[in-house]
Amino acid sequence: MPWVLLGLVALAGIGLYLLVYTAAQASLQAERSGAVPPQPGTEEAMTDLLRQIRPASVQSFGVGLVSGIGSVMLIIFAASHVGTEFGWGTLRTLLAHGAGRATFLGAKLLSIAGFGVLFIFVGVVAATIGSYLATTIAGGDTSGVDPGAISTAAARGYYTFLPYMALAALIAVVSRSAGAGIAAGLIVYFAEGLVTSLLVQLNRDFANIVNYGLSRNASALTRVAVTTSASPETNFAALPGEGQAAIVLAAYTALFVALAYWRLRTRDITLG
Amino acid sequence: MPQDVVLQTSGLTKRFGELIAVDHLDLHVNRGEVVGLLGPNGAGKSTTIGMVLGLVAPTAGSAQVLGHDVATHREKALAGVGAMLEVTSFYPYLSGRDNLVAVALLRGHGALARVDPVLTRIGLAPRGGSTFRTYSLGMRQRLGIASTLLGDPALVILDEPANGLDPAGQREIRELIRELAKEGRGVLLASHLLHEVEQVCDRVIVIKKGRLIASGTIAEVAHRGNYYEISVPDAGRASSALRALPGVKEIRVAGSTLEVVAEAGRGAELNRALASAGIYASALVPRTSSLEDVFLELTESESDAAAAS
């Protein structure tokens, strides 16, 4: 699975850039040739899109792309990485041969975290390559790559993965199943984001509450990275501050890890 | 805990809600000894092994391996244990050899150097490079047994090691178990194959619903079922005449035939007692039982009682 996920993010990183370029070009050409009736603002939007896929904007567009895919893929990876040990029965074998439960979980979480680093690295490199390819084909400006900004944005994106990976691992430990860990992890990921966006619309009190949730704090960290480069968000002020976001995400990660350890430590490892 | 004892459980108990899986179980395994752990399905054998290995937390009681309490000093206790669980589980995408390497890395203390010798000893060397998922059930069992030997253990726990092995393989495993005992290791063998247990075990422990119901050497346990079949003209009088004899444990009457449960070598004494009472037996046949007979008798009586209730 790790190689498959790395292959997918590499393909996605390059492929989506080319796809966006192709779609934007097709839209522009269709409008210019009269094949579709001209819509006000379309040309500007497509031109802006082509500008965003330039290497100078990898830290916003490319990293955002990889982060979006990464959250889902790393939830799948984390749940599988832990859950399959129950499914295969290898956890029993390892423990029976003297492995400690804390050692086992620690090794698992470290390898998940390490894979996350590799994943985002591969994804960002692929996105940068995709950006160069698409911009070269478009005849655009390929200069202005900012490795520092890309690294910072990637680090922020990676940081937002941590609680989701820890949550997926926790659910896999509790359910003793990779499938349940994946399903529950993805449900929490998507549902919390959806509910949060609805509650934020209702009133400020709800917004204050959901500002201690995962998705708002993850957005706060990643959108800071985005807004520093190009596109400020109109609702940016409603998001928690960077410091709070970092602390809240760290607290969730620590909580999920602690719960996973507690459950594994107290659980009987039986056949069923 | 005496020096020779490698495993000792005291009052070991496990409850799963209302169900008592293991009930105040006391057992021990000495160095150089093969002890059979017998019981019908659901008797608590695997739960007992789980508690000995620290996989299952006891509700009460303790298990000590080489003097170390498994609950409080699990790592030290398990350093001297090699265990093969009932369902042999390894990483399916790794080769048999690589799976052993993974276990050896946990074991330390030169276990890596034992990977290849152990593969050879267990007869898996030619297929050591094949992935675990391609292994037959018998090969998986062999790999499981191989993994128990990596740490040079003082106590080897084998849960149904002969599952899936052909007769030749079963014999090899029996020979291996005897070799392990000769090397001074204690072996706890949980098995349904009673003839296998009879051939390799020095002692057996029979558990039922988590309780110890019989233990002793194979001879002691198997001979619990020995009896004399005596044909007499008047079974009632004969029964009365024999009942008072020392050494007679039980008398069952079936028509004109008595089944007298008594120690071996008491036939002449029984005959004499009958003759003294003026009863002349037309036949007196000593019937010996196997471990299987005794096991079935012990476990079926429980099943019957359960069915009746």
% of chain A beyond a pLDDT of 70: 94
Packing angle of the helix pair A101-138, A2-32 (nearest 10 deg): 30
Distance from C-alpha of B234 to C-alpha of B255, rounded to nearest angstrom: 9
The mean per-residue pLDDT over the stretch A155-168 comes to 93
Band of residue A56 on the pLDDT scale cut at 50, 70, 90: confident
Tell me which chain A residues have a C-beta less than 8 angstroms from the C-beta of B56: 268-270
pLDDT in tens, A13-53: 888 888 988 888 888 788 777 777 777 777 778 778 878 88
Evaluate whether B225 touches B289 at the Cβ level (below 8 Å): yes
pLDDT score at A205? 76
**Contact with chain A for residue B15, Cβ under 8 A:** no
Tell me which chain A residues have a C-beta less than 8 angstroms from the C-beta of B103: 93-94, 97
Task: List all residues of chain A from 50 to 89 with a beta carbon under 8 Å from chain B.
Answer: 88-89
pLDDT score at A229? 40
CB pairs under 8 A between A and B: 64
Tokens encoding A113: 């975290």
Tell me which chain A residues have a C-beta less than 8 angstroms from the C-beta of B79: 98
Band of residue B306 on the pLDDT scale cut at 50, 70, 90: very low
- Whether pTM > 0.90 for this model: the answer is no
Distance from C-alpha of B179 to C-alpha of B184, rounded to nearest angstrom: 9
Strands B34-38 and B203-208 come out as parallel
Taking CA–CA distances from A95, the nearest residue in chain B reads B55
Band of residue A271 on the pLDDT scale cut at 50, 70, 90: low
Measure in Å the smallest separation between the Cα of B91 and chain A Cα atoms. Answer: 7
The mean per-residue pLDDT over the stretch A88-98 comes to 91
The mean per-residue pLDDT over the stretch B151-180 comes to 89
pLDDT score at A234? 43
Task: List all residues of chain A from 94 to 123 with a beta carbon under 8 Å from chain B.
Answer: 94-100
Evaluate whether B22 touches B12 at the Cβ level (below 8 Å): yes
pLDDT score at B3? 60
Lowest average pLDDT, out of A199-203, A267-271, B83-87, B204-208, goes to A199-203
pLDDT score at A68? 87
Evaluate whether B71 touches B53 at the Cβ level (below 8 Å): no
Tell me which chain A residues have a C-beta less than 8 angstroms from the C-beta of B161: none
Instruction: Convert chain A into a string of H (helix), E (strand) and C (coil).
Output: CHHHHHHHHHHHHHHHHHHHHHHHHHHHHHHHCCCCCCCCCHHHHHHHHHHHCCHHHHHHHHHHHHHHHHHHHHHHHHHHHHHHHHHHCHHHHHHHCCCCHHHHHHHHHHHHHHHHHHHHHHHHHHHHHHHHHHHHHHCCCCCCCCHHHHHHHHHHHHHHHHHHHHHHHHHHHHHCCHHHHHHHHHHHHHHHHHHHHHHHHHCHHHHHHHCCCHHHHHHHHHHHHHHHHCCCCCCHHHCCCHHHHHHHHHHHHHHHHHHHHHHHHHCCCCCC
pLDDT score at B70? 93
pLDDT score at A238? 67
Which is nearest to B136 in space by CA: B116, B168, B111, B163?
B163
- Best-predicted range by mean pLDDT among A221-230, B8-17, B82-91? B8-17
**Contact with chain A for residue B47, Cβ under 8 A:** yes
Give, for B36, the enclosing helix (H) or strand (E). strand B34-38
Strand B186-190: give its sheet, edge to edge.
B81-84, B155-159, B186-190, B34-38, B203-208, B211-217
pLDDT in tens, B60-105: 999 999 989 999 999 889 988 999 988 889 999 999 999 999 999 9
Band of residue B301 on the pLDDT scale cut at 50, 70, 90: low
Which is nearest to B38 in space by CA: B150, B275, B228, B198?
B198
Band of residue A230 on the pLDDT scale cut at 50, 70, 90: very low
pLDDT score at B60? 94
Task: List all residues of chain B from 57 to 86 with a beta carbon under 8 Å from chain A.
Answer: 57, 74-75, 78-79, 81-83, 85-86
pLDDT score at A228? 40
Distance from C-alpha of B269 to C-alpha of B279, rounded to nearest angstrom: 13
pLDDT in tens, B180-221: 999 999 999 998 888 888 889 999 998 988 888 888 888 888
Measure in Å the smallest separation between the Cα of B263 and chain A Cα atoms. Answer: 42
Q: Can you tell me the ipTM of this complex?
A: 0.80
* Residue from A80, A86, A97 to probe the interface with B (highest B Cβ count within 10 Å): A97
CA dihedral A40, A41, A44, A47 (to 10 degrees): -90
